[in-house]
């Protein structure tokens, strides 16, 4: 009966400790601990004091019995060791155990209780690594909590005198204290695990938030890493988070600063915090918990906490992302993960901007290559044709000179943006007028292009197909032939077709047209084919159908989206 009453009373005392633990779970330092963030020496001292005080509370809420105290002192010390490691276990054991020995609260077990409290704290600290790896943390805490209290009973039997009284005391308090404190330790750990799950949910939210920010900033960083793009990105981050200031730098100056402190952290000014220089030089993220650690020269700077993360382009550091808060020690593990995630995403986006730039250079080089392919024989033949018409048909010669000028002007323009289909047709028409002057009735051109068709295409994408149809299809035919230029619009794309009734090709030759080592005659077609694939995707190359003595049809598709 006595054992049951004692167990019930101890359970009530343990409940008091657990209520305090619930309050503790709301403290930022404690949340940092259970979120497995690295704790510095200063934090460990604070935690040792907190868990040591828990032990003292456990002593004062104990139940006097036969010259001793049945208590829950072990709970705070043991949990502190499991969560904080050997240093926290040792120091909290010294605080709680030392209090039991030095403060005159009576009992012949003072020294035994002081020693056991210290050893239980050390034991928990040693067990921390195994505890962290365990899949069953609550069961782990329960079992070793029981063992820790068993150890305390053994120490009382060994140290406390007289032995007969120690034995009688252990007989009365042993089972109630082992059960109550073991279960209390397990429940304490359950509380910390619930905090950890809450923090994990925050991680999930922050991950989703990072993706949303990335989606909104993609358009900016794809344009490069400069004052304009970083300012827009900083505004997005601040609007979507609880961060009080957001900044970007390059390796020498501030690119953008939005939020508190923007009155003196001015865009374009040189780096003002020593911490930023350290992050750039070390190529690693740094957390500052005080104004002094940030190292801003401005006397009235309101920035009190910060996370500074390098931004990289491939393996080279090109700047930093900085998230600031106006309170000390307010950068949480969740915000660190957010900053790291954003910096990684931004680094990738900046690399993509370089890919876009390289693609633009490629497009220009492809266009230059196509422009350089103007056949000198075409120029000489066109000039000879115009010369022959100068005396007999001067107006016609003048008209052809205008077409020749338009043709070369379009070829030599460095335009890489898409052009209206109508502009490409004008260019083709200049080329055709010159060719018709040379070949007369042997060449017939038919345009089948609806007036209301709306389509933008890469420049010089259609003319090489028409040129190929004339040179290698119609003109090689003794009686000549016709070339049709057709445009068709459907739901997803605009279809452009160049069709001739010339000499045609067999299937084996068609299959070789786009081979790398095929003859130079098809280089114009290859260039157009590669440009289409690079711009729209591999399925958007030229489709060619041909049959000997029947003719050839070349088709390209320009997607609407």
- Using one digit for the tens of pLDDT, what is the confidence trace for 235-276? 888 888 878 898 899 888 999 898 888 888 888 888 877 788
Kindly tell me if the per-residue pLDDT of 85 is higher than 80: yes
**Over the stretch 35-70, which tens digit does the pLDDT of each residue have?**
555 667 877 888 899 899 988 988 888 888 887 888
Alpha helices in 473-522 (DSSP H): 507-512
Q: Are 258 and 235 in contact (CB under 8 A)?
A: yes
**Over the stretch 513-541, which tens digit does the pLDDT of each residue have?**
777 655 555 667 787 888 888 788 888 88
List the beta bridge partners of residue 419.
457
Nearest C-alpha neighbor of 364 from the set 538, 535, 220, 521: 535
Question: Minimum mean pLDDT among 98-112, 242-256, 438-452: which range?
Answer: 98-112
Q: SS3 letters for 159-182? A: HCCCHHHHHHHHHHHHHHHHHHHH
Rounded Cα distance between 503 and 513, Å, is: 16
**Over the stretch 402-440, which tens digit does the pLDDT of each residue have?**
777 776 666 656 455 678 888 888 878 887 887 887 777
Domains defined along the chain, listed by start: 1-199 (1.10.1760.20), 225-369 (3.30.450.40), 376-559 (3.30.565.10)
Rounded Cα distance between 33 and 412, Å, is: 67
Rounded to 5°, the CA angle 122-123-129 comes to 100
DSSP strands (E only) in 214-315: 245-249, 254-259, 286-288, 305-313
Rounded Cα distance between 7 and 419, Å, is: 87
Q: How far is CA 330 from the centre of its chain?
A: 23
Element (H, E) at 355: helix 333-371
What six digits make up the tokens of 53?
A: 């005080």
Kindly tell me if the per-residue pLDDT of 205 is higher than 70: no
Rounded Cα distance between 246 and 235, Å, is: 8
Rounded Cα distance between 265 and 286, Å, is: 19
As to burial, measured by CB atoms within 10 angstroms (0-12 exposed, 13-18 middle, 19+ buried), residue 138 is: middle
Average model confidence (pLDDT) across the chain: 81
The pLDDT of residue 375 is 52
Q: What is the largest CA-CA distance in the chain?
A: 139
Rounded Cα distance between 124 and 148, Å, is: 9
Rounded Cα distance between 76 and 369, Å, is: 77
The pLDDT of residue 437 is 79
Nearest C-alpha neighbor of 294 from the set 312, 268, 320: 320
What six digits make up the tokens of 295?
A: 């190292």
CB atoms within 10 A of CB 37: 17
**Over the stretch 6-42, which tens digit does the pLDDT of each residue have?**
667 667 777 777 787 777 777 766 666 655 556 678 7
SS3 assignment, position 484: strand
């Amino acid at each position: 009966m006595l054992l049951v009453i004692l167990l019930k009373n101890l359970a009530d005392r343990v409940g008091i400790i657990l209520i305090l633990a619930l309050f503790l779970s709301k403290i930022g330092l404690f949340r940092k601990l259970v979120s497995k963030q690295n704790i510095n020496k200063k934090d460990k001292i604070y935690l040792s004091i907190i868990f040591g005080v828990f032990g003292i509370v456990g002593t004062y809420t104990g139940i006097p019995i036969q010259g001793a105290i049945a208590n829950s002192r072990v709970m705070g010390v043991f949990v502190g060791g499991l969560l904080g490691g050997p240093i926290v276990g040792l120091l909290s054991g010294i605080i709680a155990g030392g209090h039991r020995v030095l403060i005159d609260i009576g009992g012949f077990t003072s020294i035994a209780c002081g020693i056991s409290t210290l050893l239980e704290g050390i034991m928990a600290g040693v067990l921390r690594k195994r505890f962290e790896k365990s899949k069953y943390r609550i069961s782990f805490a329960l079992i070793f909590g029981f063992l820790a209290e068993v150890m305390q009973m053994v120490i009382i039997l060994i140290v406390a005198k007289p032995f007969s009284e120690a034995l009688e005391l252990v007989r009365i308090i042993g089972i109630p204290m082992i059960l109550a404190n073991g279960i209390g330790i397990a429940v304490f750990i359950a509380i910390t695990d619930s905090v950890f799950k809450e923090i994990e949910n925050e991680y999930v939210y922050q991950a989703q938030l990072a993706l949303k920010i990335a989606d909104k900033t993609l358009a900016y960083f794809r344009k490069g890493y400069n004052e304009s793009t970083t300012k827009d990105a900083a505004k997005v981050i601040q609007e979507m988070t609880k961060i009080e200031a957001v900044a970007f730098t390059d390796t020498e100056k501030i690119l953008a600063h939005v939020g508190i402190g923007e009155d003196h952290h001015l865009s374009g000014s040189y780096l003002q915090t020593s911490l930023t220089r350290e992050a750039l030089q070390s190529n690693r993220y740094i957390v500052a918990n005080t104004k002094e650690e940030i190292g801003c020269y401005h006397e009235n700077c309101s920035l009190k906490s910060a996370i500074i993360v390098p931004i990289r382009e491939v393996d080279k550091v090109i700047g930093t992302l900085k998230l600031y808060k106006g309170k000390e020690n307010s950068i949480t593990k969740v915000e660190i993960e957010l900053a790291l995630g954003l910096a990684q995403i931004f680094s990738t986006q900046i690399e993509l901007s370089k890919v876009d730039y390289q693609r633009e250079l490629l497009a220009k080089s492809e266009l230059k290559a196509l422009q350089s392919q103007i056949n000198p024989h075409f120029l000489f033949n066109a000039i000879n044709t115009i010369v022959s018409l100068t005396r007999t048909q001067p107006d016609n010669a003048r008209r052809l000179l205008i077409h020749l000028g338009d043709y070369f002007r379009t070829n030599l323009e460095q335009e890489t943006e898409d052009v209206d289909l109508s502009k490409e047709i004008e260019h083709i028409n200049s080329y055709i007028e010159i060719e018709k002057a040379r070949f007369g009735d042997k060449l017939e051109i038919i345009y089948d292009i609806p007036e209301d068709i709306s389509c933008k295409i890469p420049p010089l994408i259609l003319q090489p197909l028409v040129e190929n149809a004339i040179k290698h299809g119609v003109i090689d035919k003794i009686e000549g032939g016709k070339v049709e230029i057709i445009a068709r619009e459907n739901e997803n794309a605009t279809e452009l077709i160049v069709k001739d009734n010339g000499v045609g090709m067999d299937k084996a030759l068609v299959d070789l047209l786009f081979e790398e080592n095929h003859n130079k005659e098809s280089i114009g077609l290859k260039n157009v084919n590669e440009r289409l694939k690079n711009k729209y995707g591999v399925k958007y190359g030229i489709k060619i159908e041909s049959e000997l003595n029947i003719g050839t049809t070349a088709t390209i598709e320009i997607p609407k989206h």
